[in-house]
Structure 1
Amino acid sequence: MKFFIDNWFLFVTAIASGGLLLWPMLSRGSVGGKLSVSEAVRLINREKATLIDVSEPADFASAHPVGARNVPLSVLEKSTDLPKNKSLPIVVVCPSGARATRGVAILRKLGYEKAQVLGGGLAAWREANLPIEKAA
């Protein structure tokens, strides 16, 4: 017991460093966790994730990631453009990420448990030099 009392700072340091090591893993799995662009690309390429843009049609027409489906947030709950297989991952994007967060909440309520937000939205996609297209 004397050892623990004399070296309490070592135990506090060990617990704090262990918590800091575990924090990224725990926060990534939470509802508020956001995907990095590289994680989103990995999901799209390896796990056949669907990229859903929840922007309004005018915003979608001005710029969106190549291959994204436009399902505006206002019609997300009733849309028939969502994937039939609810076990596949879905990456939700919008210009800033605010609408995408609400979109993920709606999709999870509909049973799409692997729906995740692209952190940074379309701006992060552009910053990573990934392809953007504009509707005609």
Structure 2
Amino acid sequence: MGLFDRLFGGGKPAIPQIDPATANDRLRKKQLVLIDVRTESEWQDGVPKGAHMVTLGDPRMADKIYGYMKEDASKPVAVICRSGMRSGRAAKLLAGAGFTDVSNVRGGMMAWRSANLPVKPYRK
């Protein structure tokens, strides 16, 4: 978004980025809900411990996440994917659906694993 758009209201503000270590710390303290928006085949490699899984392509994504947040769209939610691209799109969709505290985990699962953060095996 260019300067003109920022000055004259063209578009929404950028989604905040959160680093994986901060996301994990806030998740452990129950200060945010973490959503893994990768595909089921990607989940086979493991999921962040404590995360909920909803694919980006799920037409009920926002409804499911709203349920995980105990129907409080103001609760903090962070979104993660493989590298941060899909989760950025998911975060924008959630913000557009009325979620007021949405962030994107910078670097996705690649950064999560690089930081040696906890991963659990995937179970349906």
Equivalent of 1:58 in 38, 41, 49: 41
Q: What's 1:119 paired with?
A: 106
2:38–2:55 CA contact under 8 A, matched in 1 = yes
2:72 is aligned with what amino acid? N
Name which structure has the greater RCO, CA cutoff 8 Å, separation 6+: 2
How much has 1:46 moved relative to structure 2? 4.2
Displaced runs of 4 or more, over 3 A: none
Q: How many residues align?
A: 106
Q: Which sections of structure 2, spanning at least 5 residues, go unmatched?
A: 1-12
Calculate the aligned-residue CA RMSD, in Å.
1.8
2:45 is aligned with what amino acid? S
Tell me if 1:134 matches 2:117: no
TM-score by length of 1: 0.69
How much has 1:42 moved relative to structure 2? 3.7
Q: What's 1:100 paired with?
A: 87
Tell me if 1:74 matches 2:20: no
Distance 1:52 1:101, change over 3 A: same
Equivalent of 2:14 in 10, 31, 39: 31
Distance 1:69 1:123, change over 3 A: same
1:43–1:89 CA contact under 8 A, matched in 2 = no
1:43 is aligned with what amino acid? R
Matched residues in 1 for 2:122 and 2:60: separation?
23
Percent of aligned positions that are identical: 27
Bigger radius of gyration, 1 or 2? 1
How much has 1:47 moved relative to structure 2? 5.5
